[in-house]
Amino acid sequence: MKNKFMFVLVGLMLLSACGAPKSNAMEARDAWARAGLKDGNSAAYMLISNGTAQNDELVGVSSDAAKAVEIHLSQMGADGTMQMLPQEAIALPAGGELELKPGSYHVMLIGLVKDLNLGDEITLTLHFQIHEDITLTVPVKEAADMGGSGMDGHNSMP
Ligand SMILES: [Cu+2]
């Protein structure tokens, strides 16, 4: 805890020194989830920035919006179809960014406990190897609005 406090102090000094609005924390932003039906699946996306000085990993995600939550990577398979590969963890290098987006890494929501409609919100908690959890309120957006339809294997959802 002491180290962390020192890091925040140093970060504040750097901020005031150069005036750049750069964060020194772990942050997740621009999160959104696809609309979906109860008992079906959905996916959530976001941008995670590791502004800390430590390499870290995203090791899990939890939510009460679905029966199970997994981290997936969509990839084009040898047969030309999109496949989703479950990921144990995703590296978050110090100072790096990780974009979860259609056709790439995503948070897979398996077995929705209720319909997710445009304008609804769900809660996701991100778990890291080192950093403390981050809990996010994630708005539900129609996939069609984001131009990502069909890119990540979720287009077969009802
Ligand atoms: Cu998936």
Does the pLDDT value for residue 35 go beyond 70? yes
CATH number of 22-146: 2.60.40.1890
Distance 46 CA to ligand 1 centre (A): 14
Distance 103 CA to ligand 1 centre (A): 9
Show the CA angle centred on residue 52, arms to residues 51 and 53, nearest 5°: 125
| 105: nearest Cα among 51, 143, 40, 151 | 151
- Residues 118-139: pLDDT tens digits? 999 999 999 999 999 999 999 9
| 45: nearest Cα among 128, 157, 151, 158 | 151
Q: What is the mean pLDDT of residues 15-40?
A: 79
Judge contact between 22 and 96, C-beta under 8 A. no
Distance 157 CA to ligand 1 centre (A): 11
> What is the per-residue pLDDT for 41?
96
pLDDT cut 70: percent of the chain above it: 76
Judge contact between 29 and 73, C-beta under 8 A. no
> Please, which pLDDT band fits residue 92 given cuts at 50, 70 and 90?
very high
> What is the per-residue pLDDT for 13?
53
